[in-house]
Amino acid sequence: MLGDSKAFGAFSTDSVETAAHFYGEVLGIDARVDHEMGAMLTLTFPHGAEFLVYEKEDHEPASHTVVMFPVEDVEEVAARLTEAGVALERLPWTDDDGIARDREHGMETAWFKDPAGNWLSILRVDE
C-alpha cells in the first residue's frame, strides 16, 4: 500500500536557525530553511532521503536516536565531530573514546546530540 511512497522522517527543534547552522555548517548536510508554513528545515541527503525539522515552541528533545549516519570509519568521524565542537555522549556501554564496539557483530556506534538535545548517531556495520 505505501511501499512506493517517498517517506521522510520528521522531528522537532527549539530553533530552526540554530538547527540549520548545526546540520548545514557543522555536519555538512544540505539544509534548507522554509518559513512558508512556519519555521521548518529540510535536510536532504545525496541518496534522496529527507528529514523535516520543525520548530516547536514547547520542544522536548527526543529520547531516542532520530537520525543514524552510517560511516566507513567511526573513529575518524568521531574525531572530526569532536574537533568541530560536537561532544560525543559517554554512555555505560561506550569506551573512553565514546564509541560502543560490538566486535562479535562487527558494529561500532557513537552518539551525540544536536543543539536542541535530539539524539543522533554515527555507526559502522560490517557487511
Indicate if 65 and 127 belong to the same structural domain. yes
Question: Whole-prediction pTM value?
Answer: 0.91
Final residue of a structural domain among 58, 78, 100? 58
Indicate if 105 and 126 belong to the same structural domain. yes
Indicate if 25 and 71 belong to the same structural domain. no
Indicate if 127 and 65 belong to the same structural domain. yes
pLDDT in tens for each of the 127 residues of the chain? 888 888 899 999 999 999 999 999 999 999 999 878 778 999 999 988 999 999 999 999 999 999 999 999 999 999 999 999 999 999 999 999 999 998 887 799 999 999 999 999 999 977 6
Indicate if 37 and 73 belong to the same structural domain. no
Indicate if 70 and 23 belong to the same structural domain. no
Three cell numbers, residue 2 = 505505501
Q: Which amino acid is at 32?
A: R
- Cα–Cα separations (whole angstroms), residue 88 to 3, 36, 40, 55, 98: 35, 34, 26, 24, 6
Q: Determine whether 41 is exposed, middle or buried from the number of CB atoms within 10 Å of its CB (0-12, 13-18, 19+).
A: buried
Give the domain range for residue 26: 8-58
- pLDDT confidence of residue 14: 96
Give CA 12 to chain center in angstroms. Answer: 12
